[in-house]
Chains A and B, each alone.
Chain A
């Protein structure tokens, strides 16, 4: 089983739509969680961290469910510029190592 699993997509949505991605992780000792965004042929960039209480940043909301070991990312009012691959990332504090999912591709169309 992969340490971090994501649906690769692509998710094709129209502008203005709300879209949600889920990610599951296998290591129950994982302590830190993140969503990174990677545009085509570019480097990953931190989108937001995910804490136990969840957090919101504008149109983006990230939530963590420790009991079920999954993390979600909700994007409201999708923009064309949101088209990218969204990487779910988990840090296992003991090993101090970031573990990346394969990413979920989002395509927002006019």
Chain B
């Protein structure tokens, strides 16, 4: 629908696991974003990539590691997460970093046991 897909849609992992979230956009955009949405909190911007280069890291713990191999794909590698990291992780894209309209993927609902 929005041209931004995310996999998996749901993920349950233990604190010692390593997993990766994948995002793909089919809109020809050049900027991609990772957001975290926790219950009763606003969306928190985590990382921004513009033309494959990371332009922003909002003081995100190193247990979250982003990767952007090209303008269409974005990954979020997870390792040694904490239960408080359980949240909805949303990927978004926009034409470029200056564009004000972002299109979101359906999100990955992550539960850390």
Q: Interface residues, chain A, CB within 8 Å of chain B?
A: 2, 4, 8, 32, 34, 41-46, 49, 87, 91, 96-103
Size category of the B interface is: 10 to 19
B105 at the interface (CB under 8 A from A): yes
Chain B residues with CB under 8 Å of chain A are 2, 40-43, 45, 56, 90, 97-98, 100-107, 109
Q: Are A42 and B45 in contact (CB under 8 A)?
A: no
Which A residues lie within 8 Å of B56 (CB)? 97
Q: Are B101 and A46 in contact (CB under 8 A)?
A: yes
Number of residue pairs A-B, CB distance < 8 angstroms: 43
Q: Are B100 and A43 in contact (CB under 8 A)?
A: no
Q: In the assembly, what is the distance between CA of A102 and CA of B44, in Å? A: 10
Interface of A is mostly: strand
Looking at chain B's contact residues, the main secondary structure is loop
Question: Measured between alpha carbons, how far is A103 from B37 in the docked complex, in Å?
Answer: 12
Closest 4 CB pairs of A and B: A43-B104, A100-B43, A100-B42, A32-B100
Say which residue of B41, B42, B90 sits within 8 Å of A4 (CB atoms): B42
Chain B residues positioned under 8 Å from A44 (CB to CB): 43, 90, 104
